[in-house]
A and B are shown apart, each in its own frame.
Chain A
Amino acid sequence: MLELRNVTKTVGAVEHIRDVSLTLQHGSLNVLLGPTLSGKTSLMRLMAGLDVPTSGSVWFDGHDVTGMPVQKRKIAMVYQQFINYPAMSVYENIASPLRVAGAEQGKIDSQVREAAALLKLTPYLDRTPLSLSGGQQQRTALARAIVKNASLVLLDEPLANLDYKLREELRAELPRIFAAAGTIFVYATTEPHEALLLGGNTATLSEGRITQFGPTIDVFRKPVDLVTARTFADPPLNTIVLAKKGADFLLEGGVKLPVPSELVGIADGNYTIGFQPHHLSLERPNASAVPVRAKVTITEITGSESFIHLDFADVRWVMLTHGIRDFETDEVVEVFIDPRHIIVFDEHGRAVTAPKLAA
């Protein structure tokens, strides 16, 4: 079990990590999700012992490992850039941590071959890394991390430099590999979609702070605050700032919308409501759906779906619909917000309701 207790990291006058407490279990896959500079890499360096926290402590299986150098702990790291020994064969690259640990030849051979099979590298064991594709090079780095038998494996955007389809394939394999290994895996990414594909647990990061930690699908469906909801939305979360007064939602510019029955229970006051792009639709999804008129700025068609960018009052929304729906720029369309999927945030950005349909 890896524990961070009130960890803070300050460099100069800049707080890179702000009071992070987090417990990760053995055999778990944990995603750190957040934009560039949100603190993902800083946090991983603290977990690894590459950096020492300014305050707070790091514990591993009940031992305080704060300040213990990375060499004294069983840690493997894989970075966005493929890092291998260019002069060694793929076999020797994978074997290197075992040789350093002084393992016997038979054990080295069986473990290298097992990891190579797992990562589909068996045909390339005699090649050198630079003669391989990017995906194969990164799989070599992953295989080395696996044979190291580390208790903590840190993956910092490991698929970011790979082709889209290769990423898709490796993402599907990684959770299976992780589950088999029984170690603590930490995986940093900027992409919400990648977190959902990996599953496991997700910690959302914003400005050096963990805003929420829990099973990935729960954090996605039931964000505790607006920052988390925004971090975990791709396409971006749609929002409206409004005031609830009795049976009405009052918007800027004098627009008045009826409060749907699902939301009549909340107190009068100022709120931000948020909803995902696929919960905005051209057809009325149910009786209490809220109709609004918005202006089309641009339509993007993927072949199976259309992303329709809309201006509503002074905010930009994205609507995701099935099939091909093309609109002229500046066309005004009537769209429906499904109230069963709305999340209401108070003036401090805290969620006061969860979406009704979330399982």
Chain B
Amino acid sequence: MARIDVNHVRHSYLPNPQKDADFALREVHHTFEDGGAYALLGPSGCGKTTLLNIISGLLHPSHGQLLFNGKDVTNLSTQERNIAQVFQFPVIYDTMTVYDNLAFPLRNRGVPEADVDRKVRETLEMIDLASWARKKARGLTADQKQKISLGRGLVRSDVNAILFDEPLTVIDPHMKWVLRSQLKQLHRRFGYTMVYVTHDQTEALTFADQVVVMYDGGIVQIGTPAELFERPRHTFVGYFIGSPGMNVMPVAIDGKTATLGSQRIELPGAPKASGAVELGIRPEYVRLGREGMAVSISKVEDLGRHKVVRAKLEGRDIAAVIGEDETVPAEPKVRFDPAGINIYADSWRVEMGA
């Protein structure tokens, strides 16, 4: 497995890029540590697949350099980089058995048959398909086929990294839980360097130790799931992660007080913010009760394990999450849990200050 350095990489699909907007991928400078589990998360068009394809060698960046364990691989092909890839749609040979599908990449590389057999059996155990070894791949379900794709990545002990491009998009919800936890177990046990591209926040957050959030061709934040949830660096991260996303409202700040319309909100510190100043608070930190700022309720969505309350505060839409057995009081009011308050200036988070 390898450490991957992405050194000042930019990519444009245009022949002669001039301005930022000409780049599908603006400057990325980041190290993917050996054995790390990373997710690239963002909406379509954010550049996440471009970055993945640059790491895999499907795409050569127009600017910058890529190192695997310190060695320059920028101009090497996918095959020379020795990486495994799992795509959205399983790429397998329907007419071969499950066993032969896994053996294929090894036999292709001239691995002695005794070693092939040992590695294939190990891998079949890992992906929980040992009892299917002699079956033709044709009759398998989508999730079983995706396991074979994964197994083909795992079967080669010499790969530098395993790259995933939306691997669970076509899998039914129940099987997603099973595959996701197996993937995570494999990572814990064998320490592969894994990079996983997805637009699904649950997949990204549950899979990765570090989530790279991308927006409009650039990285807006790299952090643990908890950091992204509690301290979004940019209002986009607040919006994109969380369901519903973070409430963001324009405020004026004076010392330790934020003013929102006729309301005054005490802050845990005195942030220094200039420009367009906004207060961000996730629905999970908005407390609905009989005390605080008056709201008018627009809608209550019962989602089974919790309810989402949609309301108006000072004429603005605000969402709050309440428990499955909680109800909305007759004269509803909201308070903001200070632990969940973040202040933004021109969309970027500023420190709360003392």
Contacts and interface: CB of A to CB of B under 8 A. Distances in A.
A7 B185 CA distance: 45
B225 interface: yes
B229 interface: yes
A193 B201 contact: no
A56 to B, nearest CB: 28
B244 to A, nearest CB: 7
A199 B299 CA distance: 12
Contact of A36 (B43, B142, B181, B226): B142
Contacts of B207: 300
Nearest to A190: B172
Nearest to A340: B325
B205 A235 contact: no
B240 A165 contact: yes
B45 interface: yes
A133 B45 contact: yes
Nearest to A217: B302
Nearest to A303: B229
Contact of B284 (A236, A278, A304, A357): A304
Interface in A294-334: 297-298, 300-304, 307, 309, 318, 320, 324, 329
Interface size class of B (residues with CB under 8 A): 35 or more
Contacts of A320: 305
Contacts of A235: 177
B335 interface: no
Interface in B233-286: 239-245, 282, 284
Interface in A128-167: 133-134, 163-166
Please list the 4 inter-chain residue pairs (A to B) with the smallest Cβ-Cβ separation, ordered nearest first: A303-B229, A300-B206, A303-B225, A302-B205
Interface of A: 35-36, 133-134, 163-166, 168, 190-193, 196-197, 199, 217, 220-221, 230, 234-236, 276, 278, 297-298, 300-304, 307, 309, 318, 320, 324, 329, 357
Given A164-B199, A165-B245, A234-B173, 19 more contacts: A36-B172, A164-B201, A165-B43, A165-B239, A166-B43, A190-B173, A221-B304, A276-B304, A278-B324, A298-B181, A298-B184, A298-B185, A300-B181, A301-B205, A302-B206, A303-B242, A307-B206, A320-B305, A324-B226
Interface of B: 43-45, 142, 172-174, 177, 180-181, 184-185, 188, 199-202, 205-207, 224-230, 239-245, 282, 284, 301-305, 324-325
